[in-house]
Amino acid sequence: MKTVIIKDKILEIARFGIVGTTAMMIHYGIYYLLLSFMPVNLAFTIGYFLSFLYNFMMSSYFTFRVPPSWDRFIRFGASHGTNYLLQIILLNFFVHLIGIDPKLAPIPVYAISIPVNYLLVRLAMVRKLI
């Protein structure tokens, strides 16, 4: 029985990785395109919002295999609101204080925020951390 639970968690994390990687690519792609004609924070925010919509639907159907609902959408939004704040703070830290090129700054941002995001999203979608 424990083996099945562990296998299910590993598969869930793998699905989370697939959805998260795709959402991150959508986010970064939009950010990169918009960066050439708008401020860093605005480009980052628009990319985040559009990838958020994709992420919610795929997290519901594919990652956690639960039906989307307004309740889950609100909880998912709250978890992503926290994640967005973490990411925008880190982005500004890396761009303005450390001096990393704005085109590359999202890379360390993602490296720090993705593990935190997994726990927040899991809690929002299934109301359990583990």
Amino acid 104 reads: L
pTM score of the predicted model: 0.83
Residues 5-53 pLDDT 10s: 788 888 988 998 899 899 999 999 999 999 999 999 999 999 999 999 9
Q: Closest Cα partner for 60 from 14, 127, 128, 125?
A: 125
pLDDT of residue 1: 63
Residues 83-96 pLDDT 10s: 899 999 999 999 99
Q: Which residues touch 66 (CB under 8 Å, ≥6 apart)?
A: 60, 72, 125, 126
Both structure tokens of 123: 């809690």
Helix axes 106-126, 2-35, angle to 10 degrees: 130
Q: Closest Cα partner for 28 from 9, 43, 11, 10?
A: 43
Q: What is the mean pLDDT of residues 95-121?
A: 91
What phi and psi values does residue 105 have, to the nearest 5 degrees?
A: -60, -35
Distance CA 79, CA 31 (A): 21
Distance CA 30, CA 22 (A): 12
| pLDDT of 107 above 90 | yes
pLDDT of residue 97: 97
